[in-house]
A and B are shown apart, each in its own frame.
Chain A
C-alpha cells in the first residue's frame, strides 16, 4: 500500500505541537498583546477584575477554538468530497455547498428574523445539502458533467447564481450590508451561543467522517472495484453527503463563507501521507485546524491594526494553489 508511515509519525508528532503554538500565539497576539504569563494566570487563577483575563476568556479563546474547529470541519469535508467523487477539485466552496448554506441563512435572516440558533444551524445544513444536490444533480444530467473541470465550472457558476439571488433578496429587504458583514468578518464577533451549538454538532460530523474513512478509500479506487469488494456504494455516498452537509453547515453558520480550505488542505495532506483516506481524513482535520488558525493570525497583521477578512487570506493562498492544480493536473485526461 502506498502509504508512508515515517511521514505519518512525523505528522502526528509535529502537528499537535504546531497547533498548540499557533493557538497560544492566537490568544496572545492582536491589537492588544497579552503576555504568556497573563495567559497562564487567566487559566490557572481567573480574576474577574482583570481586563486581560476577560479578553482572553470572552474574545481570544473562543475565537481561537472556533477557527480551529472550522478549519478542521472544512478540510474534512473537502477530503471526503475529493475521495468520493475522485475529483481533485472537489471542495465545499467550489461545489456550491457553502453557497447553499449561506443562501439558506440569508433567507432565514430575511423571513425568519427571530429564528433560534439551533434552527439556524439546521437550516444551514439543509442549505449545504441543497447546494450540493443542485450542483451534482445538474452535473449528472449533462454529458461529462462529472469530470473534474466541468464539475468545478458548474459548481462555481451555480454557486454564484444562488448567492446572486440571495444578494438580490437581501438588497430588497435592505439588509445586504448586514449579510455582507456576516459572511466576511464573522471571526472577531462570534456568538458564544453558536459556538456551544456548532462545535458539538460539527464533532458529530467529524466522527461520521472518520467512520466513513475506510469506505471512502475503497470508493476512491473506483466504482467497479468498490462494488466488487462488496461495498454498498449508495449508502456510502448518502452518508458522505450527510457528513459534508453537517461539517459545512456548522462551519458556515459559525463563521460565514470561507473558501479554499477544503480544496488546499487535503492536497497538502495527500502529498505528505499518501492516498489512504483512513489517514488522509484525520490528518486533514488536524492540518485544516492549523491552516485556518494560521490564516487567522495573518489576517490580523496584513493590515495592522485593522483586521482583514479571513476569507481574503485563504483566497490569496488558495487561488495560486488552485491555478497550480489546474496547470499540473488539468490536462486533457481530466478536462474532457
Chain B
C-alpha cells in the first residue's frame, strides 16, 4: 500500500500533540495542586518560586520524560521483535526479556548494595553500569528463547510465546529469591522498582537511558529496511544478498539493549511493545520506515498516559504503572489472539 506522505505527516503531527497533551495533564495534576498559569510560569521561568520549581523540575518533569522515553524504547524493541520473529504477538515483556534483564539487575543490586532510589550526583557511572547488567540478563533470556523455540529452522509462533511465559516465571522466581536475601532497605527499593514504576525517577535516570536510546535507536532506524525484507520469504531475502541470521541476531541484541536500558530505570513493563506497533500498523501500514516513528510516539503516549492513570486514579495511593499497562494490554493481547488465525 503506497503511503500518502501528507497523511503520514498528519498522523505524526496528531500524535505529537497528543503526547504534549498527555504530558500536560500529567504535569498539572497530582497531590500538590498547581494552576495552569503557575505551571507555565514555572516552565518559562517567569517569577518562579522555589516550591514550584521543586515539584516541576525535580519530581514531575523527570518522571514524565522517563515515561515517554521508556515508552519509546519498549515500542521500538517491540517493532524489531515482531519484525524479526514475524510474530504479531511478540513483545519484550511477554517473551521474557524484561524478566531476564530485571533478574540480572536485582542480582547486581544484591551484590553491590545499591539503592536505586537515592542516587548521588557523582554516581552516574554506577547507573550506567546497571543497564549493562540488565543487557546480560536480557540476552540470556533471548538466547534461551531462541534455542527452545527454533525448530526446523523456523520459529513457531505459539511456542515462542509459551517459552517466553515459562522464562518469565523462571526468572521471576530467581528474582524473588535474590530479593528476599537483600537487607530491608535494598529490598524495599528493589520491590518498588520490580513492579514496574517510574514514580521515583530523576534526571540521572534520564541521563543514563538517553545514550542507549539514541545509539541503538539510530542503529535500528538505519536497519529498518531489513525489517521490511524479513517479511518476505526467506529465499527471496537471501537472494537479495542479505545474511539473514546474522542481521536478525544483531537486531535482536539491539532491541535487548533497548529493553535493558528501559527496565533498569522503570522495572518490568509489558505490552507497550505489543500494542504500539499494532496500532501503528493499523494507522500507516507495514512500511517500517514510516511505521517505526509512529509506533515510537504511540508508545510514549501510552506510557505517559498510563503513568498519569497510575498516579491519579486511586490518588493519593499510587498504582504501579506496570499494572495499569497490563490491565489495558492483556485484553488487547487476547483480542489479537482471537483475530489471528488458528
Give residues in A with beta carbon < 8 Å to B.
89, 138, 141-145, 147, 149-150, 152-154, 156-158, 160-161, 164-165, 167-168, 171-172, 174, 184, 259, 302-303, 306, 308-309, 311-312, 315-316, 318-320, 322-323, 326-327, 330-332, 335-336
**A259 CB, nearest partner CB in chain B, Å:** 7
**B56 CB, nearest partner CB in chain A, Å:** 26
Contacts of A327 in B (CB 8 A): 148
Give A327 to B147 CA distance when docked, in angstroms: 10
Contacts of A89 in B (CB 8 A): 162
Are A164's CB and B326's CB within 8 A? Answer: yes
Contacts of B144 in A (CB 8 A): 323
Contacts of B244 in A (CB 8 A): none
Are B342's CB and A316's CB within 8 A? Answer: no
Are A153's CB and B162's CB within 8 A? Answer: yes
Contacts of A158 in B (CB 8 A): 330, 334
Are A316's CB and B341's CB within 8 A? Answer: no
27 A-B pairs within 8 Å (CB atoms) are namely A142-B337, A147-B342, A149-B158, A149-B162, A152-B162, A152-B165, A156-B165, A157-B333, A158-B330, A158-B334, A161-B330, A164-B323, A164-B326, A167-B323, A171-B314, A171-B319, A171-B323, A172-B319, A174-B317, A302-B177, A312-B176, A316-B170, A316-B173, A318-B169, A323-B144, A330-B162, A335-B156
**B102 CB, nearest partner CB in chain A, Å:** 15
Are B161's CB and A153's CB within 8 A? Answer: yes
**B176 CB, nearest partner CB in chain A, Å:** 6
Are A171's CB and B317's CB within 8 A? Answer: yes
Which of A143, A157, A168, A309 meets B342, CB within 8 Å?
A: A143
Give A308 to B170 CA distance when docked, in angstroms: 15
Give A331 to B341 CA distance when docked, in angstroms: 18
Give A168 to B318 CA distance when docked, in angstroms: 9
Decide yes or no whether B180 CB sits under 8 A from chain A: yes
Are A138's CB and B334's CB within 8 A? Answer: yes
**B189 CB, nearest partner CB in chain A, Å:** 15
Contacts of A330 in B (CB 8 A): 156, 158-159, 162
Give A154 to B89 CA distance when docked, in angstroms: 13
Interface residues of B, dominant DSSP:
helix
Give A143 to B330 CA distance when docked, in angstroms: 18
Count of chain A to chain B residue pairs whose CB atoms are closer than 8 Å in the complex: 113
Give A309 to B7 CA distance when docked, in angstroms: 55
Interface residues of A, dominant DSSP:
helix
Give B166-185 as 1s and 0s: 1 = Cβ < 8 Å from A's Cβ atoms: 11011011101100110000
Are B156's CB and A303's CB within 8 A? Answer: no
Contacts of B181 in A (CB 8 A): 303, 306
Contacts of B156 in A (CB 8 A): 330, 332, 335
Decide yes or no whether B242 CB sits under 8 A from chain A: no
Known: A172-B314, A326-B166, A330-B162. A164 touches B327 (CB 8 A): yes
Contacts of A160 in B (CB 8 A): 326, 330
Are A323's CB and B159's CB within 8 A? Answer: no
Contacts of A306 in B (CB 8 A): 180-181
Are B326's CB and A308's CB within 8 A? Answer: no
Decide yes or no whether B31 CB sits under 8 A from chain A: no
Are A308's CB and B177's CB within 8 A? Answer: yes
Contacts of B161 in A (CB 8 A): 153
Are B180's CB and A259's CB within 8 A? Answer: no
Are A315's CB and B173's CB within 8 A? Answer: yes
Contacts of A171 in B (CB 8 A): 314, 317-320, 323
Residues 129-174 (chain B) with a chain A CB within 8 angstroms: 144, 148, 151, 156, 158-159, 161-163, 165-167, 169-170, 172-174
Are B327's CB and A161's CB within 8 A? Answer: yes
For B158, B167, B170, the residue with the greatest tally of chain A CB atoms inside 10 Å of its CB is B158
Are A326's CB and B163's CB within 8 A? Answer: yes
Contacts of B241 in A (CB 8 A): none
Contacts of B180 in A (CB 8 A): 303, 306, 308-309
Contacts of A161 in B (CB 8 A): 326-327, 330-331
Give A92 to B190 CA distance when docked, in angstroms: 30
Give B295-327 as 1s and 0s: 1 = Cβ < 8 Å from A's Cβ atoms: 000000000000000000010011110011011
Contacts of A168 in B (CB 8 A): 314, 319, 323-324, 327
**B338 CB, nearest partner CB in chain A, Å:** 5
**B197 CB, nearest partner CB in chain A, Å:** 11
The residue on A at minimum CB distance from B152 is A332
Give A142 to B151 CA distance when docked, in angstroms: 26
Contacts of A322 in B (CB 8 A): 166
Query: 15 additional contacts, CB 8 Å, given A158-B330, A332-B156?
Result: A141-B338, A142-B337, A150-B158, A152-B165, A164-B323, A171-B323, A172-B314, A172-B319, A303-B177, A308-B177, A309-B180, A312-B177, A319-B173, A320-B170, A326-B162
Contacts of A174 in B (CB 8 A): 317
The residue on B at minimum CB distance from A336 is B342
Contacts of A326 in B (CB 8 A): 148, 159, 162-163, 166
Give A171 to B158 CA distance when docked, in angstroms: 33
Contacts of B166 in A (CB 8 A): 319, 322-323, 326
For A174, A184, A308, the residue with the greatest tally of chain B CB atoms inside 10 Å of its CB is A308
Are B317's CB and A312's CB within 8 A? Answer: no
Contacts of A164 in B (CB 8 A): 323, 326-327, 330
Contacts of B323 in A (CB 8 A): 164, 167-168, 171
Are B173's CB and A312's CB within 8 A? Answer: yes
Contacts of A143 in B (CB 8 A): 341-342
